[in-house]
Amino acid sequence: MANVNVGVIGYGYWGPNIVRNFFAASNCTVKAVADARPERLAQLAKIFPTIQGVTDAEDIINDKEIDAVIIATPVFSHYPLAKKALENGKHVMIEKPMTSTVAEAEALIELADRKGLVLMVDHTFLYTGAVKKMKDLVNSGQLGNINYYDSTRINLGLFQPDVNVVWDLVPHDISILYHLTNERPISVSATGVDHLRNGIENIAYVTLNFQSNMIAHFTCSWSSPVKIRKILVGGDKKMILFDDLEITEKVKVYDTGYSARNDEEKRKLLIDYRTGDVHIPKLEMKEALAGLACDFVAAIQTGKEPVSNWKIGSDVVKVLEAAQRSIKQNGKEIKIVADYERVK
């Protein structure tokens, strides 16, 4: 396999993790990192003396020896940087969320598709041992039909200047949900509040409605005194609790369910409730970002679709956009058009 030369744009909070994992990845060389802040480049030089630091992202986008560009900058800059990189023939991986609007996401997809380049979004959670195990459990049919997905993702977090708490935290949940079920919602209803009265919500609640009668709900907050990272996935046969703050027992599978055999029983509420054993599977412990790096490199080398593909990336933005519109209308239902197939 040909070695892949990578350039990273943005060396802020997440950038160092990106660099460390691609640095350690096989068949891959981190050639340069761009950040406008000299102190960030000094930090880079101290830890990774072999990687070139540049202050201008253009130096990476125009570097003939660079095959792939990773964009780890604020959301508003994702689109222009990715567009230029794709136009210059680079494969591109973008931090989540992919772009600020669905239109931008679709334009990038169209461009990558036309140029035959890999376009990927960094939904890291899809590469965790926990989500892999949950995917296996769903695929095996053990959970039965998925009835609901309920996530709580709260802590005392920094208020972001450009995006609200939905754009900050909900991409994790939408990507996990889409990865697990392959279903897409028909509508979104969301509420929220901006305690600074600056139009940027710090607490929000998002409901996704599905044709199948599945419901998904996300509670997200930057204003909680306690940190919670819990997801419940309820099947009609079994249910999962994924608590990401647990160290060794992150995923619990409950042999819990309820069912009625027929409509008559439902009407009479002759429901068979069941609570049984709980199973805590051992999870793969590999760092998720290492798996993502490997997947990106393999996609470039072999053309195979990465797990965290642009479809999920774009569909996530579609929900974020709708949720934002719903919040501004105090919960009004916003329909989602599942039209991404069109742009492929």
Query: Interaction with a second copy in 168-187: which residues (CB under 8 A)?
Result: 187
For residue 2, the one-letter residue type is A
Q: Peptide bond preceding 97: is omega within 30 degrees of 0, i.e. cis?
A: yes
Rounded CA separation 104/80 (Å) = 9
For residue 239, the one-letter residue type is M
- 69 in Cβ contact with 61 (< 8 Å): yes
221 binds a second copy (CB under 8 A): yes
CB atoms within 10 A of CB 5: 17
Rounded CA separation 144/138 (Å) = 8
The footprint of a second copy on residues 44-63 (CB under 8 A) is 47, 49
Q: Strand 239-243 relative to strand 223-235: parallel, antiparallel, unpaired? A: antiparallel
What's the closest the beta carbon of residue 260 comes to a second copy, in angstroms?
Answer: 7
Classify residue 87 as left (phi > 0), alpha (psi -120 to 50) or beta.
alpha
Q: Say which residue the tokens 């239109």 belong to.
A: 103
150 binds a second copy (CB under 8 A): yes
Q: Pick the closer one to a second copy by CB: 69 or 208.
A: 208
Q: Pick the closer one to a second copy by CB: 58 or 194.
A: 194
262 binds a second copy (CB under 8 A): no
What's the closest the beta carbon of residue 272 comes to a second copy, in angstroms?
Answer: 11
What's the closest the beta carbon of residue 344 comes to a second copy, in angstroms?
Answer: 30
256 binds a second copy (CB under 8 A): yes
202 token code pair: 């710090």
233 token code pair: 């996935």
Find, among 169, 143, 291, 165, the residue nearest to 230 by Cα.
169
Backbone angles phi, psi at 227, to 5 degrees: -95, 125
43 binds a second copy (CB under 8 A): no
Backbone angles phi, psi at 143, to 5 degrees: -80, -15
Q: Pick the closer one to a second copy by CB: 237 or 311.
A: 237
Angle between helices 15-24 and 38-47 (to 10 degrees): 30
Q: Say which residue the tokens 């990845």 belong to.
A: 25
156 binds a second copy (CB under 8 A): yes
Q: Pick the closer one to a second copy by CB: 93 or 323.
A: 323
Q: Pick the closer one to a second copy by CB: 116 or 199.
A: 199
Rounded CA separation 336/208 (Å) = 10
Rounded CA separation 337/333 (Å) = 13
225 binds a second copy (CB under 8 A): yes
The footprint of a second copy on residues 264-293 (CB under 8 A) is 266-267, 269, 271, 273, 275-282
The footprint of a second copy on residues 232-251 (CB under 8 A) is 232, 234, 236, 239, 241, 245, 247-249
What's the closest the beta carbon of residue 186 comes to a second copy, in angstroms?
Answer: 10
Q: Pick the closer one to a second copy by CB: 189 or 309.
A: 189
Segment near a second copy (CB under 8 A); pick from 51-59, 103-111, 118-126, 255-263:
255-263
Determine which residue in the list 329, 337, 338, 339 makes contact with a second copy, applying CB under 8 A.
329
Determine which residue in the list 65, 114, 226, 264 makes contact with a second copy, applying CB under 8 A.
226
337 binds a second copy (CB under 8 A): no
The footprint of a second copy on residues 190-219 (CB under 8 A) is 190-198, 203, 205, 207, 209, 213-215, 217, 219
